[in-house]
Chain A
């Protein structure tokens, strides 16, 4: 019996396929092409072969951006640790706990740019809260220009990322915590576990799917960080390129220096890195699902 061709499933798929083609596949293909060209956005691209990639290998600022992007991954374990801790705290049936849960979520729904500007003021030399406190209690003899110290650029941006993301990941872990049966904690107590051991042997294994999920999401976000760097460094990328990450460098090359071809080559490297990360993370996720 021969199968009859039916157009109907393709019609159902068409809207999604069109959107994916227009907004993902075509731009990706275009970036691949531009990465082999000299393209300044306003004039037609000129084919230059591998020249952009050869230049990348010799470009010290690109390697600085590459290193900074990987350094930025420090936010992932920090976020996981802090948000689990916070989730455990707000998982307790305390009076008014929902208010605290909502408050911790506020940074998530606040715009990164607005929050970033507020953070600039926190770390400001003149009248900034951080300098005010540290000088006030005698830790610092004089105010520090935090935002103009190359050593502090990335840590301040990372703190901002952690502060913004904490509430969101806390909610993910909170949902996971509420799925762990209470019996397991009771059994752990009967077996002689103290509170820390209880979380080590019960909570962490129970949260494994959420931990993998958060690791995937937050590491991809970290490697693609831009907003925090842009706002904290006032669009410069930090003194001596101290805050330049790969996406920031890509943006600077494309939109400041009008080297869209070169920026496309940076984007291709970034694409390969995120692809590798995604594959590793998906494998971890699959393994985690098999184990649970």
Chain B
């Protein structure tokens, strides 16, 4: 009998030791939350030696019941955010963002941490560049050490600028269709160069007119609901404000991309069908420019804001309280609040007036990948990760920017009734962003063409050159430049 007891004890000891070893040698990468410990009943067969009357030993198999702790280690499910395959092991990718630090350091760092957990082994080196972003990036490309993943402005046309120089990675063939489908179609198809996409659409802005009710309502006696719905209502509004308050309109031409402004605001066709002739010296083009010339002649617009290429100049003027309205993104309301808290209580926001094209606008920011990156899949994965529905939603929760992914808008956050003026566009954001489209054709030598158009526009605005003459001169120069 003692032998039998000894056998039980030995078996229990061996099993306990095995269990301890099993636990100790388990896969270390498994997240602890997925480890389940439970007590189970395990049937065991123990071999016991029995001595019977006859002097011989027989072997009797016996079934015994023992209680023990086992560890259930479930197989990790694929991370739903890991949508890019074949990411290079141990890749180290660099990321440059545009003017997000230090305000959004926590968000960027936490998103990178989430990315590194989703794609284990990939390391991200992040840098934020601000006013010198473009200079830094060009110098980096020239020096051969440009970042792998780059935050580029779609609104300013940076994506097509770099893509036409062959510096960005074409994405259409490298991104699975189900991933492309995560984005609004209009945004995915922005800044195409020869029909090819080079950017993951990132955060979007919604242009609103920020209204200083102290000037607009108290001073000029205007009602918010009467704010013009279309661009051609601005001259009359500016005249009223000037007459009643002496304040000038704070309107800015997009001097870095005047052709785009012509297209959106004036419904101007800028290129011929074959793309070889500039056609913006049309009646539509002349009407568009004439509207601004008339406002300048009437003295109703601040001329230094009108032709500045720095949004800050107009924003600063608005923030100082010396203008009735300014078109910007709700995300910049925080700057108004920070720099002139007294004005914040007088702020209201209305949708920005649309132009003749009827298109509400185009995208704001994208993320692109360097063409000659050593780690294309890891870089694509990072660009995609920052622009995926989860990352976008988290970003929108901390600042008034809007996702490029329809799924993000399913979150109750977007259904909540806005309280602060910053959130005024939230309930209508999905509808607006879904309609964004890039309707401006790709123009070769765009910077030079824009410079020629800018000189012409200035000569009409400030040097009494007839609008038609100015545009004809610019169109001729443009045609030469695009065929160079």
| Residues of chain A having any CB pair with chain B under 8 Å | 40-43, 61, 124-127, 142-143, 145, 147-148, 150, 234-236, 239-241, 255-258
Contact = CB atoms under 8 A, between A and B. Distances in A.
A288 B447 CA distance: 50
A241 B456 CA distance: 12
Contacts of A124: 322
Contacts of B166: 43
Contacts of B323: 126
A234 B303 contact: no
A66 to B, nearest CB: 17
Given A234-B310, A239-B458, A148 B302 contact: yes
B139 interface: yes
Interface in B232-272: 246-248, 255
Nearest to B162: A42
Interface string B290-330: 00000000000011101111100100010010110000000
A236 B308 contact: yes
A39 to B, nearest CB: 9
B226 interface: no
25 contacts: A41-B139, A41-B141, A61-B455, A125-B302, A125-B304, A126-B247, A145-B303, A145-B304, A147-B304, A148-B302, A148-B304, A234-B304, A234-B313, A235-B309, A235-B310, A236-B255, A236-B307, A239-B303, A240-B462, A240-B463, A255-B134, A255-B135, A257-B448, A257-B451, A258-B447
A239 B307 contact: yes
A155 to B, nearest CB: 16
Given A126-B317, A236-B309, A42 B304 contact: no
Given A142-B246, A148-B303, A150-B462, 12 more contacts: A41-B141, A42-B138, A42-B141, A43-B165, A126-B247, A148-B302, A234-B304, A236-B255, A236-B307, A256-B447, A256-B451, A258-B138
B424 interface: no
B111 interface: no
Residue from B302, B304, B448, B455 whose CB has the most chain A CB atoms within 10 Å: B304
Contact of A126 (B142, B308, B322): B322
A1 B339 CA distance: 79
Given A126-B320, A236-B255, A258-B447, A41 B142 contact: yes
A260 to B, nearest CB: 9
B322 A127 contact: yes
Contacts of B350: none
Given A148-B302, A240-B458, A42 B448 contact: no
B167 interface: yes
Given A235-B310, A236-B309, A240-B463, A257 B447 contact: yes
A61 B451 CA distance: 12
A48 to B, nearest CB: 13
A258 B447 CA distance: 8
A124 B248 CA distance: 12
Contacts of A255: 134-135, 138
B459 interface: yes
Nearest to A252: B451
A136 to B, nearest CB: 14
A235 B135 CA distance: 14
A147 B248 CA distance: 14
A256 B308 CA distance: 14
A110 to B, nearest CB: 20
B302 A42 contact: no
B447 A127 contact: no
Contacts of A145: 248, 302-304
